[in-house]
Amino acid sequence: MNSQITELALYLDTHPDDQKALCLHRKYCKQVKELKDKYQKVYGPLTINYPCNKWRWLEEPWPWERGKLLMWTYNKTLQYPINIKCPDPRLAKVIISQYGGPDGELAASLRYLSQRFGMPDQKAKAILNDIGTEELAHLEMVGTIVHQLTDGASIEEIEKAGLAPYYTDHGVDIYPQSAAGVPFDATCLACKGDPIANLQEDLAADK
């Protein structure tokens, strides 16, 4: 319905006297507002402008402070759609470093999700928690890219790309390693217990 509202608004920019279109625009805006209000009363605010005290998560204890497990809500869709038509094992060999290399998405997600525990306030913890979760979504996308680049490739193409040893050990699974074939190693992470040192390392790793 938002698209209809946008189209009507654009139309009214050039046809301001069209009363039928104006009434329809007002009708749709009212319906959207009613639906949003109904949703927010049950599930919480969609934006920070909604007057609601239900979700004061910055002021509440974190799950690990309450002795509970931290959980995520998983959507069974990629953050961005990936649909590679032609396999290219040579490209996959390079891109896999972004999956399991020292500055790849796996390292990034573990870096932020581990460092968050030592942050001095709730807002800093929340920021690192959000970034770490975002990196997990990136990890899933990169893994999908590598899979699609190798899916359907012939043995000859695999060998020519230099992936024969990888394919022998891991088959079609996506194994976290660098482009040079070095398996993922947590020594690439810096969790020093010092928020400033940790954030400096985060900035360096994301350059």
Is residue 50 in a domain?
A: no
Greatest C-alpha distance within the chain? 71
Looking at residue 68, its pLDDT comes to 55
Range of the domain at 17: 2-43
Q: Which two tokens stand for residue 134?
A: 């975002």
Helix count and strand count (H, E) for the chain: 9, 0
**How far, in Å, CA of 42 to CA of 35, rounded?**
11
Domain membership flag for residue 35:
yes
Q: Is 39 in the same domain as 68?
A: no
**pLDDT for position 42:** 74
The residue type of 152 is: G
Contact 195, 124 (CB under 8 A): yes
What total of structural domains would you count in the chain?
A: 2
Domain assignment of residue 49, yes or no: no
More confident residue, 194 or 75: 194
Residue 166, CB-side half-sphere exposure with 13 Å CA sphere: 28
CA–CA separation, 120 vs 32, rounded Å? 40
DSSP three-state, residue 177: strand
Coil, strand or helix at 72: coil
Instruction: Say if residues 67 and 131 touch (Cβ distance below 8 Å).
Output: no
- Evaluate whether residue 51 is within a structural domain: no
pLDDT score recorded for residue 168: 93
Residue 57 confidence (pLDDT): 54
User: What is the pLDDT, as a whole number, of residue 202?
Assistant: 85
> Residues 16-39: pLDDT tens digits?
899 999 999 999 999 988 888 888
For residues 92 and 7, state if they share a domain. Answer: no
User: Could you report the per-residue pLDDT of 58-88, keeping only the tens digit for each?
Assistant: 566 665 565 555 556 777 788 888 999 899 9
Query: In the chain, pLDDT over 70 holds for what percent of residues?
Result: 84
Among the listed residues 187, 189, 170, the one whose alpha carbon sits nearest the alpha carbon of residue 92: 170
Does 56 map to a domain? Answer: no
Residues 109 and 200 in one domain: yes
In terms of phi and psi (left: phi > 0; alpha: psi -120 to 50; beta: otherwise), the region of 98 is alpha
Nearest CA among 8, 9, 145 for reference residue 84: 145
